[in-house]
Chain A
Amino acid sequence: MGDPLTRLPGHALASALRAGVTSSREIVEASLALAERHNRALNAWLTIDRDRALAEADAADARLAAARGEGSDAVAALHPLLGLPVALKDLVSLAGGQCTAGSRILEGYVAPYDAHITERLREVGAVILGKTNMDEFAMGSSNEWSAFGPVSNPWDLDRVPGGSSGGSATAVAAGHVPFGIGTDTGGSIRQPAALTGVVGMKPTYGRVSRYGIVAFASSLDQIGPFARDTRDAAALLHAVAGRDERDSTSAPVSVPDELLQLASRDDEAAAYLQGKRLGLPREYFVAGMEPGVEAGIREAVRALEAAGATVEEVSLPHTDYGLATYYIVAPAEASANLARYDGVRYGLSVREAGGDFIADYLATRGAGFGPEVKRRIMLGTYALSAGYYDAFYVKAQKVRTLIKRDFDNVFGAGIDALVAPTSPTVAFQFGARIADPVSMYLSDACTLPVNMAGLPGVSVPCGLSDGLPVGLQLIGPAWSELELLRLGRGYEAVTAGAPWRGVEPAQLRLADERDAATPMERRAALAGA
């Protein structure tokens, strides 16, 4: 298995760096070696930039040495991400790096500038290891819609890691990096976090600037962190969050520095749970929820109660309408956003001999987009077309109001946060939901209402069902990321001794084999079986 450095959380690596026990170069070399070794079996990375990562590591080591020369205050002022490796989902612009968004239409496209969050990561001295695989344009819940092949889940290589940020989730779960960046439009951070057994947070809409991110659905998209524990997730959120005037929807709301001070001691972390009022939304225990998932959530609820929180059943009566609402609003916004891929200014360009410019558009977009993206563009175009705009789009926006009010009512009544399953099922096998779009869409039934309401949500691991990870979702009012992460940290603390806590992804060893089957081969074998 990997170098011990690749199993440590970021905060432990940060301490080791400052103590002079290791260097950023040593950490990044271990990360690169593991990511490269695993990539045949996992396909989590679309680009690994070894030379740039090592140069950034050396720069971080130099920065730490310079701070040491200035004294302990200068060292203390360094961000905990300094010198530590981060995975970027391949829809985040990194100047000079390919940015595909998982699509053929952007294959070979090289970002001419950095996204806001890339700039922020550079400022704090984080090392960008590369770009991770994803469902095309972030549309999907299994990573099977990537134009560059599926990703295997390190817990069972025949299963999906979830999506759309499946590559970043897998890179963190497999130990390639302690930190990963994803985006979440309907569950694309939280659901893969649940299915791979890591922490993943979707912040409040507007918390993180989307400048330089390939757009999917602009009223729902939000950037957020993956990590193997809540302290690291909080530190990464701290690094990237905050107002940026190049994204007019990024909110002028201050980012609490307490995100860098989540309790390290378990007793202190657990004490935060005392007296908290948590709500268990009854509508989230949907038909089709696996018994093993429900059992995991109920056990987590008992652990929270034992630590002094009260958990009461609450109702979010419009939950059932979330799926239909989402699958009108998101495709409508996507169809508008994706109109920019015209084959003229950048990206794939198919020019038909003798055809007019319309023929070029049809050919370029027909060849460049994959099946799920085409489906969503079709849905969105239909929902926005003359005569249907009111019946579909405006109707969905009105139901969106009702969904948001459900949450407002619960939080207004004094509930601090909601506890719910993240995904109704554990990781599923390749091919299980690919033929039926609606069954794939149901993967996000418990996460997408949170996007519709613009709220923050975090998924934390809460056990295993038949050896596969289950995720517990915590949902809070707008701008409550710090409180949610403290709750999650408290839950980590009270379950620190649980037997499942120490279990590593079961098939990591298999992923390390030189002649391991690729995810493409596994998918083909399952399809033939």
Chain B
Amino acid sequence: MRGWFTAGACHAGDRAGGGYDRPVAALSRADVEHVAFLARLGLTADELDRLEGQLNHILEQYAKLTELDTSAIPPTAQTIELENILRDDVATPSLAPDQVLSNAPQRDGEFIVVPPILGGDGG
């Protein structure tokens, strides 16, 4: 897995600089593999082949945005202009542990069994 990551640790950085008004660069097969790994998607060779073509076709559509000069335009993250809303800090009943854990794939009493995170190759 780590090998894959290294191999795919592609050229993202190289192309980034100021990329605002540049045409969108095409994604290579290695880029597609790298993005799939970042997204934690295990994809088959067929899926990677198909995605390489499709993603590039979609990225071509993105290039349209470079027509617009947005240097003086503020970004919009949300539209209804709400200010931060804080609720009162009041204790309310919550779900029973059994309900919360009812969908866990592997359980041990009131715990969810998880794969080891520390140690081994994955850490």
Residues of A within 8 A of B (CB): 109-110, 112-113, 204-206, 219, 245, 248-249, 251-252, 318, 320-321, 323-325, 327-328, 335, 339, 342-349, 351, 356-363, 365-367, 369, 371, 374-375, 377-379, 381-382, 385-388, 390-392, 394-402, 404, 437-438, 452-455, 478
Contacts and interface: CB of A to CB of B under 8 A. Distances in A.
B76 A400 contact: yes
Nearest to B103: A346
A344 B117 CA distance: 12
Contact of B16 (A323, A391, A398): A391
B38 A438 contact: no
Contacts of B85: 245, 248, 252
Contacts of A206: 80, 82
29 contacts: A112-B99, A318-B68, A321-B68, A324-B64, A327-B61, A335-B39, A339-B40, A342-B40, A346-B104, A347-B105, A348-B105, A356-B115, A356-B121, A357-B116, A357-B122, A361-B40, A374-B47, A375-B55, A378-B32, A382-B27, A385-B12, A386-B12, A391-B19, A398-B73, A398-B75, A401-B74, A404-B76, A438-B61, A452-B79
Given A356-B115, A366-B42, A382-B35, A387 B15 contact: yes
A328 B70 CA distance: 16
B53 to A, nearest CB: 10
Contacts of A437: 54, 57-58
Interface in B27-78: 27, 31-32, 35-44, 47, 50-51, 54-55, 57-58, 61-62, 64-65, 67-68, 70, 73-78
Given A375-B54, A401-B74, A359 B12 contact: no
A349 B62 CA distance: 35
B41 A395 contact: no
A155 B33 CA distance: 43
A396 B59 CA distance: 13
A379 to B, nearest CB: 6
Contacts of A335: 39
A249 B41 contact: no
Interface of B: 1, 12-13, 15-16, 19-20, 22, 24, 27, 31-32, 35-44, 47, 50-51, 54-55, 57-58, 61-62, 64-65, 67-68, 70, 73-80, 82, 85, 87, 95, 99-100, 102-106, 112, 114-117, 120-123
A351 B16 contact: no
A314 to B, nearest CB: 20
A46 to B, nearest CB: 17
Contacts of A369: 41
Given A378-B51, A381-B35, A381-B38, A395 B80 contact: no
